[in-house]
Amino acid sequence: MLRILVVLGALAACLAAPTNETLPGKIVGGTAASISQFPHMLAVMNANNVQFCGASIISNNWALSAAHCTIE
């Protein structure tokens, strides 16, 4: 009996209708900034021009980013 309930519960979860809600923006509790407000920040982007990390300019030739933003 328990096995049937588990299977029915899993089936119900898989067949649940998707909602038409819009996803919230990426900014939580803040406001959008113009590019001139933070000139020391960089966007680290992939080959598809999608930003996946950020970095800070620390000199004319160097930027600092988090270790998880790099590819081994």
Number of H helices, E strands in the chain: 1, 3
Q: Give domain status of residue 57, yes or no.
A: yes
Kindly report, residue by residue over 2-24, the tens digit of the pLDDT.
777 776 666 666 666 666 666 56
CA atoms within 13 A on the CB side of 44: 15
Q: Give domain status of residue 59, yes or no.
A: yes
Q: Which domain holds residue 46?
A: 38-65
How many domains does the chain divide into? 1
Q: Looking at residues 41-69, what average pLDDT do you find?
A: 91
Q: Give domain status of residue 58, yes or no.
A: yes
In which region does residue 2 sit, left (phi positive, over 0), alpha (psi from -120 to 50) or beta (all else)?
A: alpha
Which tokens go with 60?
Answer: 């004319």
Entry pTM = 0.50
Q: Give domain status of residue 31, yes or no.
A: no
- State the Cα angle at 59 between 57 and 51, rounded to 5°: 20
